Amino acid sequence: MDIKLTYRNNSNDFAKSSIVVFQKLVNTDYDELAVAWKVIKNCGTGEYHPFVYPMEMAVGAIDSDGNYSQQLPATNGQVFSLTGSNSGNQLKPMDDVSGNSRQVDVRNNLDYGAIQVGIYKDDRMLALKSNISPGEKAIFQFLPTIWVGVVSDVEEGDVMDSAVMSQNNTELSLLGIASADIVLSGGGNRPFRFALENIKRG
């Protein structure tokens, strides 16, 4: 079931800061960076912004020739393969292969060229793995948590550098939640603080 969230700006921030929502991959490389999944802009003090965190996700790939695959619905436990064919490269589920029930795997089964693989929620990129060489695979595993932070000059789909990721970011667990408010307080002379309020369990 999708999770209904509402961002509420109860802060004293008058700098028109943006709010970024993102997820981090489990067991990711130290230098692997997160993708800005959702960016909320111009939501002033006292205002709110509803949005949905969907349970469904999709996977897509980009080959070394710059070709984008179609996005395919994906669930944990599935394994996909980017493979060459007479009509060109194609991303397909490997129905005869069982994967780890907590992750989505995408194999580069091309003869040449590193690929990029993305996971999407609500048609927006949630995570990206780059430089997947032939014979290697991209692994995507997420905890039921999101991260929120106060940012500037970040757009949806941007790969965020480590400096952005280390600023004012808060981890919020969505486990068992049907709906909740994400409330921002602080600002001015106080540090920003995010908290879940008005939680309804699923």
Q: State the average pLDDT over residues 114-119.
A: 96
Residues 6+ apart with CB under 8 A from 96: none
Predicted confidence at residue 30, as pLDDT, reads 47
Q: How confident is the model at residue 176 (pLDDT cuts 50, 70, 90)?
A: very high
Based on the fold, state whether residues 115 and 149 are members of the same structural domain. no
In total, how many domains does the chain have? 2
Q: Are residues 81 and 91 in the same domain?
A: yes
Q: Are residues 90 and 80 in the same domain?
A: yes
Q: Residue 202: pLDDT band by 50, 70, 90 thresholds? A: confident
For residues 42 and 73, membership in a common domain is answered with: no
Regarding whether 134 and 68 lie in a shared domain, the answer is yes
Same-domain status, 111 and 179 = no
Q: Report the share of the chain in percent with pLDDT over 70.
A: 95
Range of the domain at 173: 3-54+142-201
* Residues contacting residue 57 through CB under 8 Å, at least 6 positions apart: 73, 74, 75, 104, 119, 120, 121, 126
Domain closes at, from 99, 114, 140 = 140
134 and 150 within one domain: no
- pLDDT, tens digit (0-9, with 9 covering 90-100), for 60-114: 999 999 999 999 999 999 999 999 988 889 999 998 888 889 999 999 999 999 9
Share of the chain above pLDDT 90, in %: 77
CATH number of the domain bearing residue 13: 2.60.40
Q: With bands split at pLDDT 50, 70 and 90, how would you rate the model's confidence at 168?
A: low
The rounded mean pLDDT for the chain is 92
For residue 29, the model assigns a pLDDT of: 59
- Within this chain, do residues 44 and 73 fall inside the same structural domain, yes or no? no
Query: Do residues 135 and 169 both lie within one domain?
Result: no
Q: Which residues pair with 185 in a beta bridge?
A: 193
Per-residue pLDDT averaged across 153-159, rounded?
92
Domain identity same for 72 and 15: no
Domain boundary among the residues 140, 171, 192 is at 140
Task: Check: CB of residue 170 under 8 Å from CB of residue 151.
Answer: no
